[in-house]
Amino acid sequence: MAIAFVSICITGDFLQEVLVVEEAAVVIVVVVVASVVVADLGTEVVAVGVVVVTVVDLVVTVEAVVEVAAEEVDLAAVAVDAGAEDVDFVKRGGKAMLEPHRHEGIYIARGKEDVLVTRNMVPGESVYGEKRMEIEDRESGNKVEYRVWNPFRSKLAASVVGGVDSIHMPKGSKVLYLGAANGTTVSHVSDIVGEEGAVYAVEFSARSGRDLVNMAKKRPNIIPIVEDARHPLKYRMMVPMVDTIFADVAQPDQARIVALNAQYFLKQGKYWLRGHFVISIKANCIDSTAPAEAVFAGEVDKLKAERLKPLEQLTLEPYERDHAVVVGVYRPPGM
């Protein structure tokens, strides 16, 4: 989306409209402004539904209209989705209110539409073209940037919206993420655990791995690992003991993959100190002929056989079809 700057110039007894356009599309967004209208012989510029600016031998630009509108209406600054390359901030009617979610590090931005957000670890930067918003911190009075977390694009976000009891990723925790792909969900986990935490992101695909590495350059708490999660010994020197394993590998042997990595990297100890796992199960990747419920039950049995004790199971409808998330704790031999 390109932003066109519109200048209205007075020349004699009539108005001349001058358009300076970047790229191909012309899109003007001012609060709830739909268009800019110029009277044929008058001297008024009308920002539809918001404010009227009178021209008196001046050049009126869109920036001026935005400034006047911001002074007259109580607004919150929110982001417009303008692609992965650049996201511009504009003004939209209504004040967004921030409410902490029961999961630490996750928030709900309440406005015209409630959305799940995480605090942006790299202000001014989007990872995959997601919307961003600035909300004023009530204590400090400073503007803080948040990133919208869409449950239709992230299975972990879908499980949070669906009501999962715990994702076991508090601030400062270490997470081993299996099946990191391009880093869409990994970036939000990075926001959640914060600078004190770490995300060890494993991805087998070289192409997705390049995107993951490039994203990690701006997020120091992400350690990208381009390797096969079936062979944890290949990256054992890079990953310490972790608090949580999140797996989204979509493979028929994913229960075994999680168990292998848990054996090497998941924390052990008393019940309250044991590491946890969160696994996303895609029924079609395991058995496309069996009902999804039967596939989920079979995977839970496999996890139990691998000494992974399921504590909670949640389907991801309507965000993901035939998907479920299983949360549990690791029980190493002898405990």
The helix or strand, by DSSP H or E, that contains position 256, with its residue range, turns out to be helix 254-265
The predicted model gives 22-36 an average pLDDT of: 32
pLDDT band at 331 (very low <50, low <70, confident <90, very high): confident
Does the residue 168 lie in any domain? yes
Does the residue 39 lie in any domain? no
Quick: pLDDT tens for 69-92.
Answer: 333 223 233 333 333 333 333 333
pLDDT of residue 66: 30
Higher pLDDT, residue 44 or 308: 308
SS3 161: helix
Statement to judge: residues 142 and 167 lie in one domain: no
The predicted model gives 45-71 an average pLDDT of: 33
Residue 317 sits at the vertex; the CA angle it makes with 179 and 245, to the nearest 5 degrees, is 30
Give per-residue burial for 238-266: e unless 16+ CB within 10 Å, then b: ebeebbbbbbbbbbeebbebbbbbbeebb
The string of DSSP codes covering 65-94 is: HHHHHHHHS-EEEEE----SS---EEEEEB
Cβ 299 vs Cβ 315: under 8 Å: no
- Please state the length of the chain: 335
SS3 235: helix
106: containing domain: 97-151
pLDDT of residue 330: 86
Does the residue 216 lie in any domain? yes
H-state helical runs in 38-177: 62-72, 155-162
Choosing from 151, 179, 197, the residue where a domain stops is 151
Statement to judge: residues 118 and 215 lie in one domain: no
pLDDT of residue 28: 32
CA distance 291 to 278: 22
Statement to judge: residues 144 and 191 lie in one domain: no
Quick: pLDDT tens for 244-254.
Answer: 999 999 888 99
Cβ 158 vs Cβ 188: under 8 Å: no
Statement to judge: residues 120 and 206 lie in one domain: no
The predicted model gives 281-296 an average pLDDT of: 91
pLDDT of residue 268: 80
Does the residue 160 lie in any domain? yes
Statement to judge: residues 121 and 243 lie in one domain: no
pLDDT of residue 274: 77
Statement to judge: residues 317 and 168 lie in one domain: yes
Statement to judge: residues 217 and 283 lie in one domain: yes
pLDDT band at 273 (very low <50, low <70, confident <90, very high): low
Does the residue 4 lie in any domain? no
Statement to judge: residues 125 and 166 lie in one domain: no
How many domains does the chain contain in total?
2
Does the residue 314 lie in any domain? yes
Is pTM beyond 0.85? Reply is no
Statement to judge: residues 110 and 216 lie in one domain: no
Statement to judge: residues 136 and 280 lie in one domain: no
Quick: pLDDT tens for 115-158.
Answer: 999 999 999 999 999 999 998 877 777 889 999 999 999 999 99
Statement to judge: residues 140 and 255 lie in one domain: no
pLDDT of residue 72: 29
pLDDT of residue 335: 54
Quick: pLDDT tens for 207-246.
Answer: 999 999 999 999 999 999 999 999 999 999 999 999 999 9
Phi then psi for residue 170, to 5 deg, are: -70, 170
pLDDT of residue 326: 96
Statement to judge: residues 201 and 280 lie in one domain: yes
The predicted model gives 177-181 an average pLDDT of: 96
Sheet arrangement for strand 143-148: 89-93, 75-79, 132-136, 143-148, 115-119, 106-110, 97-100
Looking up residue 257, the CATH number of its domain turns out to be: 3.40.50.150
Does the residue 16 lie in any domain? no
Higher pLDDT, residue 45 or 307: 307
Does the residue 315 lie in any domain? yes
Choosing from 134, 151, 168, the residue where a domain stops is 151
Looking up residue 131, the CATH number of its domain turns out to be: 3.30.200.20
Residue % of the chain over a pLDDT of 70: 69
